[in-house]
Amino acid sequence: MGTPTADALKYPFDHLPGPGELQEIVPGIYWLRMPLPMALDHINLYLLEDSDGWWLVDTGIAIDPTEALWEQVFERHLKGKPVKAVLATHYHPDHIGMAGWLCERWRVPFYMTQAEYLSGLAFSRMQREHFSWSSAQYLQRAGFSAQHIEQAGARFAGFGDYIKPMPMAYRRLVDGASLVIGGRRWRVVVGRGHSPEHACLYCESLNILISGDQVIPRITSNVSVMGGEPEANPLKDWLASHEHLLEVLPPDALVLPAHNVPFYGLHTRLRHLVEHHEEHLLALEEACLEAAPTALELLPVLFKRALDENQLGLAVGECVAHLNYLHQRGQLERSLNAAGHYVYRSIDDTLPLRQRRHRSLADDQPPIQV
């Protein structure tokens, strides 16, 4: 892909699994791809073979082709064994969309962390009327006009359309817990920031990490503030999680991510992502030195390309995540202007020093594209 990270990573698989087909990673671990109706057009799911059945890791989004593709897998690839468990890494619709259907279809338990399960329940029931005054206020403070906020309210739909009714019971995954599948121990490693309590699975004997959206090789996971929790600081969690993963996982693990393709180079990727966000933080601080911009006005600092309406929401969420991080660390001052927008000013007197470091870094390592 031409970025420093991509060049440093190794991709051991030349072929992608076809629709409804499984590709063996190692005996007992299989890779399945499901379609997504968006620019990012696929999600990777993984099937783990146990002596008496199959564990499904993530489930696909609830759109038409997904159910038929699952049926094709059941018909052709389960070696006469049933599905015995469904596990979701986190609550986003491409991961939990079909969980309810799968657990119903096979009458099997559903595994998830508590914060992800409860978030999934809440978001999957979100309807148009949940666009409230607080959602409008969040957008106003980010810098949007009254007209734009009205249009956003009219378009608001929530996740519900892409998620089958969630399983009404679950088994809780916690950080450090183990699952034994096919005679191998998988350790739950929790990451935060992209979602509240994202479960990764690490198998030491195989040195394989199923990373979900916590580590992806070629795209940066969205780290966003949303209207439901406007003072959240997910970037702090995200960066702390990267430090944690660097400590508890080895550099040479084979990483099975939920998007793009399996890769080697876990520590390289984690370090590059930390640098990517640090570059963004510094660039925002610089942009708030002279002027006092809003989050909306700061988008070109983070995103070089033009954004469509859908991307705009994610981009503003990501920008506010960086601004909340800096504000809560005491590096940006935040005040409300007459239009009800938050405006930001840099107040950190170490910035000129760090700017010089940033400039020299930026010269040899341009930030990767989102």
Chain residues binding Zn ion by CB under 5 A are: 92, 213
- Nearest distance in Å: CB 90, Zn ion: 6
- Nearest distance in Å: CB 184, Zn ion: 26
Beta carbon nearer to Zn ion, 100 or 120: 120
Beta carbon nearer to Zn ion, 213 or 318: 213
- Nearest distance in Å: CB 249, Zn ion: 19
Beta carbon nearer to Zn ion, 92 or 242: 92
Beta carbon nearer to Zn ion, 95 or 341: 95
Beta carbon nearer to Zn ion, 91 or 101: 91
Task: Classify 39 as helix, strand or coil.
Answer: coil
Q: How many CB atoms lie within 10 A of CB 89?
A: 29
Under 8 Å between Cβ of 192 and 238: yes
- Crossing angle of helices 133-142 and 309-328, rounded to 10°: 80
What is the C-alpha separation between 284 and 183, in angstroms, rounded? 49
What is the C-alpha separation between 242 and 326, in angstroms, rounded? 18
Handedness of CA 53, 58, 62, 64 (dihedral sign): negative
- Nearest distance in Å: CB 258, Zn ion: 7
- Nearest distance in Å: CB 232, Zn ion: 16
Beta carbon nearer to Zn ion, 214 or 331: 214
What is the C-alpha separation between 168 and 23, in angstroms, rounded? 31
Torsion of CA 87, 237, 354, 333, to 10 degrees: 140
Distances in Å between the Cα of 116 and the Cα atoms of 123, 172, 173, 194, 319 are: 10, 10, 10, 11, 23
- Nearest distance in Å: CB 10, Zn ion: 24
